Amino acid sequence: MNSIFLRIYGGLLLSLVLVGVLGVATVHVANQVRNDEYRENLARGTFRLMSDNLLPMTEVERRRALVVWSRLLGVSLSLRPLSELKLDSGQIAGLRSGQVLVEQTGPHAAQVFSMLSRDEPLLLTTEVEQVSEQLARATLYLLIDELQRLEPGEQPGRLARIHRDKQFGFDLRLVKLDEADLDDDQRRRVEEGDTVMGLTKGGDGIRLVSGLLDSPWVLVMGPIYRMDDYPPELQALIALMGLGLVGLIIYLLVRNLEHRLLALSDVATLIASGKLGARVPVRGSDAVGRLATVFNEMAEQLQRLLNIQREMVRAVSHELRTPVARLRFGLEMIADAESDNARRRYMDGMDGDIQELDKLVDEMLTYARLEQGAPALNYQDVDLTRLLDKVAGELAPLRVGVHIERGPCQLAADSGDSCVLAEPRYLQRAVQNLVSNALRHAEAQVRLSFSIGLEQCRIDVEDDGPGVPEAEWERVFTPFLRLDDSRTRASGGHGLGLSIVRRIIYWHHGRAQVDRSQVLGGARFSLIWPRQQPADD
């Protein structure tokens, strides 16, 4: 049991290590996803705006625009056919729907793709670093160029439409110069046509401000926040919280499992010390609950077998006492006999006692073999008509005054004969025991019959004797049991015949039962078993 708990806690430790590794990997993947989304949000609006501007241009105009934008961005912009790029179907579908594809190529570098239109599968591509700073200046230049073509009154509405249609990942707005959050130096530089870049109050982002020529408006772009990975302290805290939570859950589960296994161990110890009535409380239908159920079934079987063993030992000693006493008496009488006839008479009696002992030993061995486990059963087709006739012919001479008759036999519609599937030797032994029992207690008549149904087979053995009281119908199959009525020691037998019958039919996956005969008025013993036996037998 200690080794089991060591393996359990070893598994718990391994689970915690795996959870820790999984937590770190999860945080790393989360950082990558956040970086990808951040770059895409920043690049989406700018590259859509450039793609829309390139679409109506001629090829010469496109080359000039790309040169200007490349100088502005500090990177190389190019137009490439979609067929030249190795993109998967999901990426192509996203580009055709108007998305901007950003693929990370290094710690701080990314490759950007934007399709001009579905009808013209050309991709605007570039590779940029520090996406936030480079794209901010290019975006500002493109927006100012777009807005300065309009009248001042049309500029706010146009900017709002651009912001909505191109789905910029940061704020864009036009404000009056005196309403802008600028100091005196910044305001002077804007009035002179310069672009002002500054940090936000928290220092975690940038904001760009640029004036428009011949317009009262200034363009404010941002704030554009930096993308920072989760700090190591936060990652460690998340990992510790995850480990602690998982560890607590696993500990509670293992603690409950440990208590239940300890209860199982305690009951096993009690049974080993001789307290066979101890049982494990069954809680739940999980693996431990099923183990407890199987353990209790095993304990019940063990208790039953030990009880049978004790009963058998007591019964055997009782059964042996009488024939052994008669043998001792016979030996003494032989020594004192005065004639050969007297000696022969005593020897014949001793021979009968030896035969009784031999029969008792045979029944005990047969019952022990059937009780210990499933015997080797060789199922074959058995003709019930021939079987009953054979048993009746062999046992009829035991009581000449009792007539053995055959009752009506019923066959299923799909049965062409009276053959059934059974183990011939054991089935014959069961029928012999029932007929012998009926002959001992019958007044004048014993009746044998059988029926074969679609699913079950049945053999009935009836007699016209005193019968079995209803209260004793179950106990009559108990080993070494004799009832207190007419079925007493005077009728013979050792009390094992019916027990052997029940075990034989049990291993045929059937049952043996007794009730009252409606025809003869005595007892009716029945054997009922399936017509088809399981394949694994």
pLDDT attached to residue 524: 92
CATH number of 130-229: 3.30.450
Residue type, 159: L
Where helices occur in 86-181 by DSSP H, the ranges are 89-96, 131-147, 155-166
**pLDDT digit string (tens) for 340-372?**
777 777 787 777 777 767 776 776 666 666 666
The helix/strand/coil state of 460 is strand
Q: Which fold has domain 282-373?
A: Helix Hairpins (1.10.287)
Helix (H, G, I), strand (E, B), or coil: what is residue 535? coil
**Listed range (7-16, 109-118, 215-224, 278-287) with the worst mean pLDDT:** 7-16
What pLDDT does residue 227 have? 66
Q: Are 445 and 405 in contact (CB under 8 A)?
A: yes
| Residue that is written with structure tokens 């009248």 in the block | 151
Stretch 383-395: mean pLDDT: 88
Q: Report whether 330 contacts 347 (CB < 8 A).
A: yes
Sequence-separated contacts (24+) of 529-536 with Cβ below 8 Å: 529/422, 529/456, 529/457, 529/505, 530/455, 530/456, 530/457, 531/412, 531/420, 531/421, 531/452, 531/453, 531/454, 531/455, 531/456, 531/457, 532/421, 532/455, 533/379, 533/421, 533/508, 533/509, 534/509
Give me the residue spans of the domains in the chain. Answer: 1-128+231-278, 130-229, 282-373, 377-530
317-333 pLDDT, tens per residue?
656 666 777 777 777 77
Contact predicate 433/500, CB 8 Å: yes
| DSSP count for the chain of H helices, then E strands | 12, 15
Q: Looking at residue 368, what is its pLDDT?
A: 66
Residue 133 confidence class, pLDDT cut points 50, 70, 90: low
Given pLDDT bands bounded at 50, 70 and 90, which one contains residue 487?
very low
Alpha carbon distance 420, 516 (integer Å)? 26
Select the more confidently predicted residue: 138 or 81.
Answer: 81
Q: What is the DSSP letter of 54?
A: H
Between 172 and 496, name the one with better pLDDT.
172
Distance (Å, whole) CA 72 – CA 75:
8
Res 488: pLDDT: 42
Report helix, strand or coil for 447: strand
CA atoms within 13 A on the CB side of 477: 20
Name the pLDDT band for 396 (thresholds 50, 70, 90). Answer: confident
Pair of tokens at residue 4: 């089991």
- The single-letter code of the amino acid at 480 is F
Q: What pTM was computed for the model?
A: 0.45
Segment 33-38 mean pLDDT:
73
Q: What is the pLDDT of residues 426-485, one digit of tens each?
A: 888 889 889 988 888 888 899 999 988 888 889 999 999 888 888 888 878 776 665 544
Antiparallel, parallel or unpaired: β 109-115 and 78-81? unpaired
Strands ordered across the beta sheet of 78-81? 78-81, 122-129, 109-115, 101-106
Token digits of residue 129? 């670093």
Q: What is the mean pLDDT of residues 397-420?
A: 81
For domain 377-530, give the fold: Heat Shock Protein 90 (3.30.565)
The first and second tokens of residue 114, run together, are 């934007």
Predicted pLDDT of residue 369? 64
- Among 104-113, 402-411, 424-433, which is the least confidently predicted range? 104-113
User: Which region holds residue 521: left if phi is over 0, alpha if psi is between -120 and 50, else beta?
Assistant: left
